[in-house]
A = this chain, B = another copy of it.
Amino acid sequence: MPLDAREGLLRKTLTHSVAAGTVLFEQGELPTFQHVVLSGSAHLFGRSHEGREVLIEIVRPGDLVIPAAVVSQAPYLMQARVLEPSRFLLIEGDAFRAALAEEPALAQAMIDSLASQFRRMVGQIKNLKLRSAPQRVASYIVGLSRRQQAPVRVVLPYEKNLIASELGMTRESFSRTLSAMQRDGISVQGDVIVIVNRR
């Protein structure tokens, strides 16, 4: 973005350091800020009427936190919770939307961000609809190994609890699946998984 436009926008922002356990916003609230992850992460949970809760997405440094809600000015479909000490940039919603309309570079970045988040969601739907629990676990491990650039030794980045929830199953099922997979392909020790047979 041009420097003056950027500075104008930055005047409408503040940075926020939050402790583990903080809730950035609740499902159902109207967005007032566009949150941007500077460091750490935010976990996005969906909640049902009955109160069940499921992890849907994790956003990391550089990501916008649900830009879709901010540009739509519609209620959040997820709750954002911070599970590790993190810093966020908060951009005032109106100013952000105005800047989007004025600044092509910003609009372009937003398009890219929305597109990649959309694709992640589609991938997750395909996972849920087309794969069994063990298949989801396997592809999750393979995906981890790619992201960690570790062909053999991968480390689970969160509690198994959360990972299970992200994969759409219970922690018990996740645990059982891991131990079943020890018979033909991996070995598990706490949060460390060694891939023996990648196929």
What are 7 A-B contacts with C-beta separation under 8 Å?
A46-B125, A48-B126, A68-B118, A72-B116, A102-B104, A125-B125, A128-B129
Task: Tell yes or no: A156 within 8 A of B by CB.
Answer: no
Complex interface: stretch among A80-88, A107-115, A147-155, A184-192: A107-115
Task: Tell yes or no: A182 within 8 A of B by CB.
Answer: no
Task: Tell yes or no: A181 within 8 A of B by CB.
Answer: no
Residue-wise, chain A 121-140 has the 8 Å CB interface mask toward B (1 for contact) of 11111101111000000000
- B54 contacts A119, CB within 8 Å? no
Task: Tell yes or no: A117 within 8 A of B by CB.
Answer: yes
Residue-wise, chain A 151-176 has the 8 Å CB interface mask toward B (1 for contact) of 00000000000000000100000000
Chain B residue at minimal CB-CB distance from A56: B125
| Alpha-carbon distance between A114 and B108 when the two chains are bound, in angstroms | 12
Q: Which residues of the other chain, B, contact A124 by a CB distance below 8 angstroms?
A: 125
- B101 contacts A68, CB within 8 Å? no
Task: Tell yes or no: A193 within 8 A of B by CB.
Answer: no
| Alpha-carbon distance between A54 and B56 when the two chains are bound, in angstroms | 20
- A115 contacts B46, CB within 8 Å? no
Chain B residue at minimal CB-CB distance from A71: B115
Residue-wise, chain A 11-54 has the 8 Å CB interface mask toward B (1 for contact) of 00000000000000000000000000000000000111000101
Say yes or no: A114-B114 contact (C-beta < 8 A), given A126-B54, A128-B125: yes
Residue-wise, chain A 52-96 has the 8 Å CB interface mask toward B (1 for contact) of 101010000000000111011010011000000000000000000
Q: Which residues of the other chain, B, contact A114 by a CB distance below 8 angstroms?
A: 68, 111, 114-115, 118
| Alpha-carbon distance between A60 and B150 when the two chains are bound, in angstroms | 43
With beta carbons under 8 angstroms apart, the residue of B72, B117, B128 that contacts A112 is B72
Task: Tell yes or no: A100 within 8 A of B by CB.
Answer: yes
CB distance from A105 to the nearest CB of B (A): 9
